[in-house]
Amino acid sequence: MTTRQQQKGQTKLDGIRGMPQWIAIYKTYNAVYKLTELALLPHRLSLPQIYLLSALKQGGGILTTGEIGRAMVKASQTITGLVDRLEEPEGFVERVFDRKDRRKTWVRLTKKGEQKLDEAFPAASALAEELFSALNDQEMEALQATVEKLRGAAMDRLAAVLTSDGGRSYGRGV
C-alpha cells in the first residue's frame, strides 16, 4: 500500500519517456526567464524585447516581421505586439512598409534602440555568465549539443505540423 506522501509525488506523467527531462527544462526555463526579467527591469525591457533587438542587430539592423518570428519561434501576432511596444512610445524600432509587397513589413533598429540594447545587454550577459558558471567547459559543450539536438527535433516536428495542415492540428498530438 502506498502512503499519501508517495501518492502526492506521483502523476500520470511518471514513466513517460522524456517527461522528467521536459519538466526539468520547463522549470529551468521559467527560473532563468524570471531572473532575466528581474535583471532587465531597471532597463525597462523584457527578455523577448531584448531578444528582438538583438535579432535585428545580428540581422544587419533590419528584418521582416516574418524573419523575426522565425528567429524567435513566435507567431506573427506576438511579433506585432513586441514591435508595437518597442516602437511607441520608446522609438527603439520603426516599421518600414514594403512598396513592392504590401503584405510585408520590415522592422528597423533605430539608433536609440541600438543604444538601449548596448545599455541592457550587459545585465543579461552577466546573469548568463553567473548561472552557467555552475557548469564546467565539458558540461557546457554537452549541454549545447544536447539542447541543439532537441531543438532541431522540435523544429522539424513543428515545421511538419505547420506545413501539413496549416497548423490546425498543432497541439492535438498529431
| Percent of the chain residues past pLDDT 70, beyond the cut | 86
- pLDDT band of residue 25 (cuts 50, 70, 90) is very high
As a whole number, mean pLDDT of residues 95-104 equals 85
Per-residue pLDDT tens for 47-85?
A: 999 999 999 999 999 999 989 998 888 888 889 999 999
Give pLDDT, residue 144: 95
pLDDT at 170 over 70: no
d(CA 132, CA 66): 31
Per residue, what are the HEC states of the chain? CCCHHHHHHCCCCCCCCCHHHHHHHHHHHHHHHHHHHHHHHHHCCCHHHHHHHHHHHHCCCEEEHHHHHHHHCCCHHHHHHHHHHHHCCCCCEEEEECCCCCCCEEEEECHHHHHHHHHHHHHHHHHHHHHHCCCCHHHHHHHHHHHHHHHHHHHHHHHHHHHHHCCCCCCCCC
- pLDDT band of residue 157 (cuts 50, 70, 90) is very high
Give pLDDT, residue 75: 82
As a whole number, mean pLDDT of residues 104-133 equals 95
Q: pTM for this one?
A: 0.77
- pLDDT band of residue 172 (cuts 50, 70, 90) is very low
Question: Beta strands 105-109 and 62-64: pairing type?
Answer: antiparallel
Per-residue pLDDT tens for 141-151?
A: 999 999 999 99
pLDDT at 163 over 90: no
At position 26, the amino acid (one-letter code) is: Y
Q: What CATH number does domain 17-132 carry, 3.30.499.10, 2.120.10.30, 1.10.10.10, 3.40.50.2300?
A: 1.10.10.10
Domains in the chain: boundaries: 17-132
Give pLDDT, residue 10: 55
Give pLDDT, residue 162: 83
